[in-house]
Structure 1
Amino acid sequence: MTTTAELLTDAFDRIREIVHQSVRSLSADDLAARLDDEANSIAWLVWHLTRVQDDHIAEVAGLDQVWTSGGWAERFDLPFPVEAIGYGHSSDEVAAVRPDSPGLLVDYHDAVHEQTVGYLRGLTDEDLDAVVDEAWAPPVTLAVRLVSVVSDDLQHAGQAAFVRGILERRGD
Structure 2
Amino acid sequence: MLRTVNRVVTGIVGLLLLVLGGSVLAVGLGAPPPSWWIHDGRDDVLLSRAERTRWQDEAWWWPTVLAVLAVLVVLALWWLTAVLRRRRLAEVLVDTGDGAGALLRGRALESVLSGEANAMDGVERAHVHLTGRRLAPETRVRLLLEPHVEPGTALSELTSRALAHARDSAGLASLPAEVRLRAAKHRAERVS
TM-score, normalisation: structure 2: 0.24
The higher relative CO (CA closer than 8 Å, separation ≥ 6) is in: 1
Where is the strand percentage greater, Structure 1 or Structure 2? 2
TM-score, normalisation: structure 1: 0.26
